[in-house]
Amino acid sequence: MAEKILEIRDLTCGFFTDDHVLKATDRISFDLNRGETLCIVGESGSGKSVTSLAIMGLLEYSGGVILDGSIKFKGEELTTKSQEELRNIRGNKIAMIFQDPMSSLNPVFTVGDQIAESLMIHQGMSRKEAMAEAVELLRQVGLPAPEMRVNQYPHELSGGMCQRVVIAIALACKPDLLIADEPTTALDVTVQAQILELLKSLQSQMGMSIILITHDMGVASEMADRIAVMYAGTIVEEGTVFDIFDHPSHPYTQGLLNSIPGYETARGTELYAIKGSIPRLSELPTGCRFHPRCPHAHDRCRAMEPVKIDLSETHRTACWLYDDKAEVGER
């Protein structure tokens, strides 16, 4: 039986305003097994990055708060830990790659110093040992001439090189869980492919689990073992990569896939653009949050939030189109 490294249950996160709280995620639940890659996909504003910040214990630094729910990492509850306790985990057992490599690095320190910092804090290395390890890490992530690059500053490197440095920092302490938030968004297409291939190779070598956050279904098809589709703060569908791409059940998932050039030809459908836009947190619709944009919406969708329904052992959806199976689901 697969070892669960991360268990999230009913996670609700929000942001305080003058008169109320805006929920950015609402009762989301999922598991992650050791060595597995889970892709969280959806449009901007769906709650993907908020989820990653909550796992990292960084949400409060962005003005947010965990309102309810549980985050268990290797059986330990993270939501009740102090910031000091989280700092011992963050960058050590759980690491994160942010989407813009240039803003993730400190411009006034060399890349070697920034890699070495994590090793000195979490691994107790001396500066000399940490700098030597930094060179090896840069070599591991495929940066040419690592002995020279370790003494350079971020502005002296290209965007692709900086992203490799960010990956080296994230992997310095050999984390059990790596969260990659849109790691290729700021990079050109050829570099994107190299970075994704690098992540797959390093995962195979280290046996770590990955949560990959993306809006690109093509990236998800290449990287994922399982996919969670988020919309307006909720998970509307979850399954293996084969479940999602071969048997998409939720209209939102179907819309995302049919908007990919080439996918619609392979499935005999038309290239499709989902009408409208994702709702603002302050203006969430009643019932199913997708119903204003859904071509299949009916009165029940507008009045009642759909239950989560098991379509198979690995495939779940939240849609009233499958209400004949609703008795096996949950809110």
The order of strands in the sheet holding 4-16 is 21-33, 4-16, 64-73, 76-77
Could you tell me the pLDDT band of residue 62, with boundaries at 50, 70 and 90? confident
In 3D, which of 98, 31, 34, 30 has the Cα closest to residue 61? 98
Q: Which of 182, 240, 167 is nearest to 214 (CA)?
A: 182
What gap in Å lies between CA 212 and CA 227, rounded to an integer? 9
Q: Cβ distance 316 to 307 under 8 Å?
A: no
* Cβ contact 22:282 at 8 Å: yes
Backbone angles phi, psi at 220, to 5 degrees: -60, -40
Give me the pLDDT at residue 42, please: 92
Q: Output the pLDDT for position 215.
A: 86
Q: Is the pLDDT of residue 219 over 80?
A: yes
What percent of the chain has pLDDT above 90? 64
Confidence tier at 264 by pLDDT (50, 70, 90): low
Domain ranges of the chain: 229-328
Mean of the per-residue pLDDT values of the chain: 89
Question: In the chain, how long is the greatest CA-to-CA distance?
Answer: 67
Q: What does the pLDDT look like over 96-134, one tens digit per residue?
A: 998 787 888 999 999 999 999 989 999 899 999 999 999
Whole-number pLDDT of residue 326: 47
Which residues on adjacent β-strands are paired with residue 12?
68
